[in-house]
Amino acid sequence: MSRSFVPKVVSANDLRAGHVVYFSAAETWVRDIAEAEVLTDEAEAQLRLLSAMGHTTVAVGVYLVDVTQGPQGPVPVALREQFRAKGPSIRPTKEAAAKEAANV
């Protein structure tokens, strides 16, 4: 019995800042899920996951996330991933954001 493949994106956490990041078709990490590469083939998804895992100095905790296609791009299926895609629930102060930006 064959099951249908749910589209996926590759997600991780930025090693330096801890932000949620997504793997793009250009093999770079992006913060906006709308810029993530949507994978519609299981074998291709596994290959992209392995490629992303090779970026050990950039991202940690690399894994695949189930998505559906929304009007502005991929939308995570799981509630946890929907929260992660929206960014932190507590926004840093301007001072903290400026300090973080200076360290990048």
pLDDT tens per residue, range 21-34? 999 999 999 999 99
Name beta bridge partners: 103. Answer: none
pTM of the model: 0.81
DSSP per-residue letters across 47-70: HHHHHHHT-TTTEEEEEEEEEEEE
Q: Please name which of 76, 52, 77 lies closest in space to residue 63, comparing C-alpha atoms.
A: 52
pLDDT tens per residue, range 34-76? 999 999 999 999 999 999 999 999 999 999 999 999 999 999 9
- What pLDDT, on a 0 to 100 scale, did the predictor assign at position 1? 42
Amino acid type, 55: H
Calculated CA dihedral for residues 47, 52, 55, 61, nearest 10 degrees: -120
